[in-house]
């Protein structure tokens, strides 16, 4: 079905096969999930839409959410409001917090998880966390399905690695027990002058030993910081970590940022290293960071 005016055709496929077939024929069309990113900056005075838009809103399969003992599977077009309804007792606490950060609450019933992940210009609030949670994305085009680790969803320049005709269809989130979960968002994502930072960490500790640890953060550019080797050096360490180990880790973080020329402002760097220091110092302490 297509509704049109002189400039814009809006397609409303009703099934996933219909969507994939349509997108194969029209790979330059814009995918419209909640539209909050796509229509950002559109005003009455300047009403410019892409010439062809394919809406995901009528496709029931893309709105589905299901749960097994091990996974949560979320359709790419499920809205943030629907995902939040699953409840804080089931959603991992850091994921729950990240969902609350996707903008003003008025957006929750429009913005979708898939749209948040696929934004071209930004790494938004949720993707960095998913990249360290071993989340996988189902990506489909007509006749082909692949599963991509969230950590490899973006290419070296930070753009979503979707080939022509490909759609993000499902997000599979393992319900693993991380007893340290941190999500912090500082500044305002769309305002570079506020030096925005998204900071996420996960840890598993047993009997005052660090069994697993993951850390990622990003500033205004769609490039994530992560250093698996440095993380591995902390695994097996006794908690609380001595100051020299924390210093050595932070030194490694700063070196990694320099080496990869990750574009961070001095304030973003200060925030990232400050949060990392507090996190590492408090792990294993009775008042441990959540």
Ligand X SMILES: Cc1cc2nc3c(=O)[nH]c(=O)nc-3n(C[C@H](O)[C@H](O)[C@H](O)COP(=O)(O)OP(=O)(O)OC[C@H]3O[C@@H](n4cnc5c(N)ncnc54)[C@H](O)[C@@H]3O)c2cc1C
Is 157:123 a contact under the CB 8 Å cutoff?
no
221 by Cβ neighbours in 10 Å (0-12 / 13-18 / 19+) ranks as middle
- DSSP state, residue 7: S
The 25-44 contact track toward ligand X, x by CB under 6 A, reads: -----xxxxxxxxx-x----
Per CB under 6 A, which of residues 96..125 are in contact with ligand X? 101-104, 107, 110-112, 114-116, 118-120, 124-125
The 61-90 contact track toward ligand X, x by CB under 6 A, reads: ---------------x--------------
* Residue 162 or 283 with smaller CB distance to ligand X: 162
The 249-278 contact track toward ligand X, x by CB under 6 A, reads: ------------------------------
- Residue 69 has a CB neighbour count (10 Å cut-off) of 5
Position 131 contacts ligand X (CB under 6 A): no
Distances (CA, A) of 107 to 56, 60, 81, 104, 246: 17, 20, 9, 6, 39
Position 171 contacts ligand X (CB under 6 A): no
In the numeric block, which tokens belong to residue 97?
A: 């917090």
d(CA 87, CA 81): 10
Position 55 contacts ligand X (CB under 6 A): no
Residues that bind ligand X (CB under 6 A): 30-38, 40, 76, 101-104, 107, 110-112, 114-116, 118-120, 124-126, 162, 167-168, 189-190
């Amino acid at each position: 079905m297509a509704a049109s005016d002189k400039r814009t055709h809006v397609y409303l496929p009703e099934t996933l096969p219909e969507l994939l077939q349509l997108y194969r024929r029209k790979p330059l069309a814009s995918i419209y999930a909640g539209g909050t990113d796509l229509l950002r900056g559109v005003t009455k005075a300047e009403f410019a839409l892409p010439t062809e838009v394919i809406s995901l809103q009528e496709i029931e399969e893309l709105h589905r959410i299901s749960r097994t003992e091990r996974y949560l599977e979320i359709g790419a077009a499920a809205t943030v409001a629907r995902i939040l309804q699953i409840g804080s007792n089931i959603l991992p606490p850091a994921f729950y917090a990240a969902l609350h950060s996707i903008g003003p609450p008025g957006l929750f019933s429009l913005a979708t998880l898939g749209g948040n992940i696929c934004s071209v210009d930004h790494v938004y609030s949720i993707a960095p966390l998913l990249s360290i949670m071993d989340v996988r994305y189902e990506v489909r085009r007509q006749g082909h399905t692949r599963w991509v680790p969230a950590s490899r969803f973006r290419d070296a320049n930070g753009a979503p690695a979707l080939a022509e005709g490909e759609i993000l269809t499902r997000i599979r989130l393992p319900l693993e027990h991380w007893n340290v979960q941190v999500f912090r968002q500082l500044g305002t994502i769309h305002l570079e002058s506020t030096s925005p930072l998204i900071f996420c960490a996960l840890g598993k500790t047993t009997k005052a030993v660090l069994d697993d640890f993951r850390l990622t953060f990003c500033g205004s550019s769609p490039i994530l910081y992560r250093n698996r080797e440095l993380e591995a050096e902390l695994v097996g360490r006794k908690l609380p970590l001595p100051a020299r180990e924390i210093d050595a880790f932070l030194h490694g973080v700063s070196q990694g940022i320099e080496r990869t020329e990750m574009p961070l402002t001095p304030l973003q760097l200060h925030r990232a290293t400050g949060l990392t220091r507090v996190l590492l110092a408090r792990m294993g302490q009775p008042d441990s960071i959540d």
